[in-house]
Structure 1
């Protein structure tokens, strides 16, 4: 069973940073509950297929951009927290935070907050 740290890292790097659809869908099946709910400032999507489409949409809109962790992963009970940045290599155009709930070794809920300064 994956740790919360591994799930949070996978959420960012193996799903939202993965441009190969087959590898991303395999990671989604491994990391999330079937009815996972993902919410960001734009919308809430539910389920593996919708999450895959959401990740693809983000990546399609930002060719050449990559997600990178922006600090340590923090864990409290069944919650994971990971700050991130998104932009061309070495540059942060967007910063944000993912907070996820975990049950039975998979992510059940993800909340994404964008950080504006």
Structure 2
């Protein structure tokens, strides 16, 4: 039985995946919240296809700043089968180091595609 999730939930879980330091927990979330053929578009590292690649790139990004936290700065916005969430990232208690917007496309209650855009800090 496949769990289906709201797009608002998927937007938050995507941030959780990229903010997770524990590889086993991160992989469990990827298996639950992403389709098998999911695609992640990163403006820095390109296109990553499938759960294994998303797991690999999320771990690699996390390793560059393991103490950063992703913090939404607006409520998720949903339109049909897509949505977006704006966020900042940085060390807790310090000014954010960078900001971004994640756009995702959902299919059957899971993430089918994520597009990452970096934003100017608010």
TM-score (norm 1): 0.95
Whether contact under 8 Å (2:8, 2:76) holds in the other structure is yes
8 Å Cα contact 2:21/2:66 also seen in 1: no
Map of 2:57 onto structure 1: 54
Match of 1:63 among 57, 62, 66: 66
Is residue 88 from structure 1 mapped to residue 65 from structure 2 by the alignment?
no
The CA deviation at 1:28 is 0.2
**Alignment counterpart, residue 114 of structure 2, candidates 104, 110, 115:** 110
Tell me which of 29, 32, 35 is aligned to 1:33. Answer: 35
Aligned equivalents of 2:65, 2:119: Cα separation in 1: 18
Moved beyond 2 Å, runs of 4+: none
Unaligned runs of 5+ in 2: none
Number of aligned residue pairs: 116
Checking the alignment, whether the CA contact within 8 Å between 2:82 and 2:104 is kept in structure 1 is yes
Deviations 1:40-95 (A, max 9, x none): 11211001011011111111111311111111101000011011111101321010
Shift of 1:23: 0.5
What's the Cα RMSD here? Answer: 1.0
Residue 12 of structure 2, aligned match among 4, 9, 12: 9
> Aligned with 2:60: secondary structure?
helix
Distance 2:33 2:103 in 1: 14
